[in-house]
Structure 1
Amino acid sequence: MTVTLRAAEPLSKVVEDRSTPPNIVLIFIDDLGYGDIGPFGATKQKTPHLDLMAAEGRKFTSFYAAPVCSMSRACLLTGCYNTRVSIPGVLFPGNTIGLHADEITLAEVVQPQGYATACIGKWHLGHRSPFLPTKHGFDVYFGIPYSNDMAIDPLHAHFSQDCLFREGMTEAKARQGGIRDTVPLMRGEDVVEYPADQSMLTKRYTQEAIEFITANKERPFFLYLPHTMVHRPLAVSDEFRGKSKNGILGDAIEELDWSVGQIMRTLRDLAIDSQTLVIFTSDNGADVGSSAPWRGKKGSIFEGGVREPCIMRWPNRIPAGTISNQIAGNIDLLPTFARLVGTTLSADREIDGKDISSLMFQEDAPPVRTAHLYFTQSGELGAFRQGDWKLFLSDPNKTDETKRPMLFNLVTDPAESLDVAASHPEMVGVLLAEALRQQKDIQDHCRPAGKLEK
């Protein structure tokens, strides 16, 4: 890994002469759909803290992730499409691969500038020791290593001496084999609780986050908070159970909103609110919730599977109560963080994301990137967006014999309901050629995942 340092340059007229690097809090929700929170149209559950965050910050309406868990986290942490870093759609406890040691993560971008770093929540980029957050730039890790519907790796789990075994579990029983929906809770590289009490994860993550922020209030810090909820099985603490008007999903979302409020209050109480950039977004489309108004949900490359709610707030830096409709996504955060903290990334690797600080700070900023690639969970390039146009390289609803490209205008037809490929053959040709060109670039310059022999 090579990171070259330099002094930060002015980002825009909005932040000129305000180059002090911010604290960064990145809240990453699991399986939360575009229409699951108030600022993006939810009405069944109440999200007052996110409503306030949006009123005090900027909403991004074309912010992209990926269809499922691991691939989205690879995009977020490395600034690259997951296919470039060879991370598949979903990693499982039996896998022997993970994020390669040579990849530069968000934490490794900010760490050389003196930042304290923490990952609190779901990791899902490899559960074996060489792939854990502590090997990828995070000083602190507390959370579950993969999705909460999975099971423990009975062969490779390392239990702490004081591990809390619950529900009649013992280490001997755990070594006999994993049980679905029972996952380990880890601190560093050790399992400290098994099975994790999922009803308390949101609260415990929040408390850990507050303690980390408080301990590092006198220095710059980066807190990555990838919540377990609202991935199934849904769970919620007693305080929030039955309180929403949308069942346990609504309860869990309202508890996540409470968590946002607790973090915001902590920043204010410590008088570091104005020094802190807070970003809230999700890893993929809704599973049981709402991806409205888009078509599709989790696992899909229709907009509802990959277009996420995103709010960014930084008082006196990001204009309050504003919206950006420009194309952006989680791959853009790494180069953006690099710019904000004053780190220049090495030129020895391709980075797919772009610095979107202008979209954060400027009013009516022009596009930073006009294109986006949609990779399926199996690693195929399934669709390509250029400006207002989105081309599916083949119709996912057709059989192999009848597959053909589909073309949608996302401005006039945001629901992707009217295929206009037949009436715009020239546009199909242009987009297809560019999609294949960019796909070839990734194939020619992809990097391996980390891999263990067994």
Structure 2
Amino acid sequence: MKLWIVVCLTVMLGSCSSQPTQIERTQPNIVILFADDLGYGDLASYGHPYIRTPNLDDLAAEGQRWTDFYVAAPVCSPSRGALMTGKLPNRTGLYGRQINVMFPNDTVGMPYDEETLAESLKNQGYATAIIGKWHLGDAPDFYPTRHGFDYWYGSPYSNDMDWVGVRGFEELMTLAAQGKMAELQAEVTARQPKYFDPKLEYWNVPLIRSERNGKGFTDEIVERPTDQRTLTKRYTSEAIQFIERKKNDPFLLYVPYNMPHTPIFRSDAFVDKSLGGRYGDVIEELDWSVGKIVSKLEEIGLAKNTLVIFTSDNGPWRAMQHHGGSSGLLRDGKGTTFEGGMRVPAIFWWPDSIDPAVVSDIGSTLDIHATVLALAGTNATNTDGLDLTRTLKSRAPSPRQGLAYYRGGELRAFRKGPYKLHLVTEGAYNLPPKRTEHENPILYNLMDDPSEQFDIAAENPEVVAELLRALEEHQQGMTEQPPIFDQRLKVLQP
């Protein structure tokens, strides 16, 4: 992290300093930097040998780096919905049993009866902005500006959606409904080479600007198709401008980057820069972006009154091979309930407030909601999240002792303490292992075996019984909503 260099020139009548005046408020600013498909092993501070991330490494050294931090779902839309609401996807309906995420031209989105983090903070006097990918409804009625954000500049869904010159989503779903799986698989397989040699013209993803305007909204498409090569740079510029505009008010700045979700693009300045190849270029540009945003906070004296959180929406997309990132020593990746699918990097930085440490307690993106609201002076209600404030400020043990692993609305695994119990195991995106429902659940000790290789259930029946009781207690407390994403299938029904 760039440090302030204070130069004092003592002259006849006094001295001068470049040290910024720190702005102190009761309510901290909140900056959430949210990568897309970033793997557990993709940062230098998490063990990558070739990708250089000096800015994130500095944040990790000066703040807290969590080793056991999780998302609420192993794919995009339900994970983001959980971050925004502090609730598991099954509780809000932001999931699908047949359709995993939201797609272009959806007629549904974030439910209006769910209060988002942005809405809660607006009620506490915060200015709010999202700079980046939303993926919780692309119809204007479901834009983030309709859910508590004052300003949005970004994409409505993933950067590989809205393909040009190929069958659309409804056509693919029709093939599935007709049982033409071989034809569907051939269509999907034919697209893979385009991921590995991406061209801007392959996708028609829009770049949108939306803002509150009095009692209404102003929405515009800035660019279509989006020039994805410059997205990270433009998001960085927009984020810095928002900080400058709102420096005198408490603010929430949510920056959900499109990268490194495939197709991966980077600006000219980062082409062939990394030893880690094209994927490394993309990660190093994200690191550059983080550095610029934090430097702006330092420059205008906001650093000591701003909590910065960096994490990811799920694990790496292993089907994308060298374009898909690494889960390090963790097993599998995106789409699965193995550790590589749901355990993600997490760095918390807040100078003079966070007690620096490497934290190996359990935490979750669900907890960001409760923690931020507590810091803002209010309490989260009807939440699955827990307040991590004492852990951040004084290294008290995390209040989270357990974690449920859901995929497609199905509870597949449960963790309590160091132990993890698998009821159902399955790979994703046509990668092994095949789906197995375990009559005798699999048990791992994640402290001894973070790669989930050695089943110790037979030797530990009392631990299995304890986790089954905890899992049952969790299920009894779950009030489930119907899956919103699957509503799109109704139009295909005769």
- Normalising by structure 2, we get a TM-score of 0.78
The reply on whether 1:50 has 2:56 as its aligned counterpart is yes
Instruction: Identify the residue that residue 361 of structure 2 maps to in structure 1.
Output: 326
Distance in 2 of aligned mates of 1:324 and 1:423? 29
Q: Gaps (5+ residues) in structure 1?
A: 1-17, 155-178
The reply on whether 1:80 has 2:111 as its aligned counterpart is no
Q: Per-residue CA shift, 1:411-448, capped at 9, x if unaligned?
A: 11111100112222232222123213312422x35477
Query: 1:345: Cα distance to partner?
Result: 3.7
Instruction: Identify the residue that residue 39 of structure 1 maps to in structure 2.
Output: 45
Structure 1 window deviating more from structure 2 (422-431 vs 229-238): it is 422-431
Q: Per-residue CA shift, 1:176-204, capped at 9, x if unaligned?
A: xxx86320100014322100000000000
Instruction: Identify the residue that residue 386 of structure 2 maps to in structure 1.
Output: 354
Q: Summarize the Cα distance change of 1:256–1:422 in structure 2 as closer, same or farther, 3 Å threshold.
A: same
Letter in 1 for 2:389: S
Distance in 2 of aligned mates of 1:128 and 1:145? 9
Query: 1:264: Cα distance to partner?
Result: 1.0
The reply on whether 1:111 has 2:111 as its aligned counterpart is no
Q: Per-residue CA shift, 1:250-271, capped at 9, x if unaligned?
A: 0000100000110011111111
Instruction: Identify the residue that residue 262 of structure 2 maps to in structure 1.
Output: 232
Distance in 2 of aligned mates of 1:380 and 1:81? 12
Of the three residues 274, 277, 285, the one matched with 1:255 is: 285
Distance in 2 of aligned mates of 1:401 and 1:209? 45
Q: Secondary structure at the match of 2:458?
A: helix
Q: Secondary structure at the match of 1:207?
A: helix
Distance in 2 of aligned mates of 1:32 and 1:300? 14
Letter in 1 for 2:79: S
Q: Where do 1:1-16 residues align within 5 Å?
A: none
Query: 1:87: Cα distance to partner?
Result: 1.1
Q: Secondary structure at the match of 1:218?
A: coil
Contact 2:90 2:483 (8 Å CA) reproduced: no
Instruction: Identify the residue that residue 68 of structure 2 maps to in structure 1.
Output: 62
Letter in 1 for 2:326: S
Of the three residues 225, 235, 242, the one matched with 2:272 is: 242
Instruction: Identify the residue that residue 98 of structure 1 maps to in structure 2.
Output: 109
Contact 1:25 1:223 (8 Å CA) reproduced: yes
Q: Per-residue CA shift, 1:228-257, capped at 9, x if unaligned?
A: 000000000001111111111000001000
Contact 2:406 2:412 (8 Å CA) reproduced: yes
Q: Secondary structure at the match of 1:229?
A: coil
Q: Secondary structure at the match of 1:75?
A: helix
Q: Summarize the Cα distance change of 1:411–1:195 in structure 2 as closer, same or farther, 3 Å threshold.
A: same
Q: Per-residue CA shift, 1:255-301, capped at 9, x if unaligned?
A: 00000110011111111111111110001111211111211111111
Contact 1:150 1:180 (8 Å CA) reproduced: no
Distance in 2 of aligned mates of 1:303 and 1:103? 29
Contact 1:141 1:187 (8 Å CA) reproduced: yes
Q: Summarize the Cα distance change of 1:145–1:240 in structure 2 as closer, same or farther, 3 Å threshold.
A: same
Q: Secondary structure at the match of 1:263?
A: helix
Contact 2:25 2:305 (8 Å CA) reproduced: no
Instruction: Identify the residue that residue 252 of structure 2 maps to in structure 1.
Output: 222
Of the three residues 271, 276, 279, the one matched with 2:301 is: 271
Instruction: Identify the residue that residue 329 of structure 2 maps to in structure 1.
Output: 293
Distance in 2 of aligned mates of 1:57 and 1:64? 18
Instruction: Identify the residue that residue 158 of structure 1 maps to in structure 2.
Output: none
Aligned residues: percent identity? 47
Contact 2:424 2:436 (8 Å CA) reproduced: no
Distance in 2 of aligned mates of 1:135 and 1:232? 28
The reply on whether 1:305 has 2:322 as its aligned counterpart is no
Q: Summarize the Cα distance change of 1:147–1:438 in structure 2 as closer, same or farther, 3 Å threshold.
A: same
Q: Where do 1:178-189 residues align within 5 Å?
A: 181-188=203-210, 189=219
Distance in 2 of aligned mates of 1:331 and 1:196? 31
Runs of 4+ in 1 over 6 A off after TM superposition: 450-454
Letter in 1 for 2:362: I
Letter in 2 for 1:36: D
Of the three residues 418, 430, 446, the one matched with 2:466 is: 430
- Normalising by structure 1, we get a TM-score of 0.85
Q: Summarize the Cα distance change of 1:204–1:401 in structure 2 as closer, same or farther, 3 Å threshold.
A: closer
Distance in 1 of aligned mates of 2:409 and 2:47? 31
Distance in 1 of aligned mates of 2:434 and 2:484? 32
Q: Gaps (5+ residues) in structure 2?
A: 1-23, 169-200, 211-218, 318-323, 427-432
Structure 1 window deviating more from structure 2 (22-31 vs 92-101): it is 92-101
Q: Summarize the Cα distance change of 1:30–1:114 in structure 2 as closer, same or farther, 3 Å threshold.
A: same
The reply on whether 1:367 has 2:430 as its aligned counterpart is no
* Aligned pairs, number: 407
Instruction: Identify the residue that residue 407 of structure 1 maps to in structure 2.
Output: 443
RMSD over equivalenced CA pairs, Å: 2.2
Distance in 2 of aligned mates of 1:199 and 1:282? 20
Instruction: Identify the residue that residue 139 of structure 2 maps to in structure 1.
Output: 128
Q: Per-residue CA shift, 1:68-93, capped at 9, x if unaligned?
A: 10111011111011111111231111
Distance in 2 of aligned mates of 1:73 and 1:395? 23
Distance in 2 of aligned mates of 1:114 and 1:73? 23
Contact 1:79 1:335 (8 Å CA) reproduced: yes
Distance in 1 of aligned mates of 2:424 and 2:482? 27
Who wins on radius of gyration, i.e. which is larger? 2
The reply on whether 1:142 has 2:164 as its aligned counterpart is no
Query: 1:19: Cα distance to partner?
Result: 7.7
Query: 1:403: Cα distance to partner?
Result: 5.3
Q: Secondary structure at the match of 2:57?
A: helix
